[in-house]
Amino acid sequence: MRIAAVLVVLIIAFGPIFARADDVATAQGVIRAQEQAFGHDDAATAYSYAAPAVKQIFPAPDIFMSMVQNAYAPVYRHKSFEFGDSKTEGSSIAQRVHIIDANGEAWEALYTLEQQADGSYKITGCSLLKAGQAV
């Protein structure tokens, strides 16, 4: 009986931590899927992971892809793309990504994602800085 009571307390206490870990894993899956779509030049799939606010600014997949190619070249083409720290706050997730671009330069990306009404996560933004560069 005591074991059951302890288990219930542990589940209640640590349930939110496990839920947040699942959300981070889901968000990382979204980022990874978009990264792979960029690698295959699949504009429609890459665009499908963008949040509605991003789609308002870039109303078509080809426009979105052109912006990524020109403004986010290290995200578009790279040698290495590894997840760093993440932070959850409410229905938002911030995820750092360590990138080595095609020329061997190190970059830090900060992706932000927001949970949608259907429960999915969509990318709301990406800030990109050379590694070691001040914000």
Please count the structural domains in the chain: 1
**Sequence letter at residue 93:** I
pTM over 0.85: no
CA–CA dist 97, 115 (Å, integer): 19
In a domain, 70, yes or no: yes
The confidence score (pLDDT) of residue 7 equals: 38
Residue 44 lies in a domain: yes
Residue 78 lies in a domain: yes
DSSP label of 91:
T
Considering Cα of 79, then 94, then 45, then 73, what sign does the dihedral take? negative
Residue 35 is assigned to a structural domain of this protein: yes
**Domain contains 37:** yes
Contacts of 94 (CB under 8 A, 6+ apart): 86, 87, 88, 110, 111, 112, 113
* In-domain check, residue 135: no
Query: Which pLDDT does position 2 carry in this prediction?
Result: 53
CATH number of the domain to which 56 belongs: 3.10.450.50
pLDDT-based confidence at residue 112 (cuts at 50, 70, 90):
very high
pLDDT at 17: 40
Q: How confident is the model at residue 135 (pLDDT cuts 50, 70, 90)?
A: low
Q: Any idea which of 12-21, 40-49, 53-62, 71-80 has the lowest mean pLDDT?
A: 12-21
pLDDT, position 132: 77
Burial 32-53, CB ≥16 within 10 A → b, else e: eebbebbeeeebeebbebbbee
How big is the CA angle at 74 (ends 72 and 80), to the nearest 5 degrees?
145
Distances (CA, A) of 83 to 32, 58, 105, 109, 120: 9, 26, 17, 9, 19
Q: Is residue 31 part of a domain?
A: yes
> Residue range 13-32: average pLDDT?
74
Would 91 be classed as within a structural domain?
A: yes
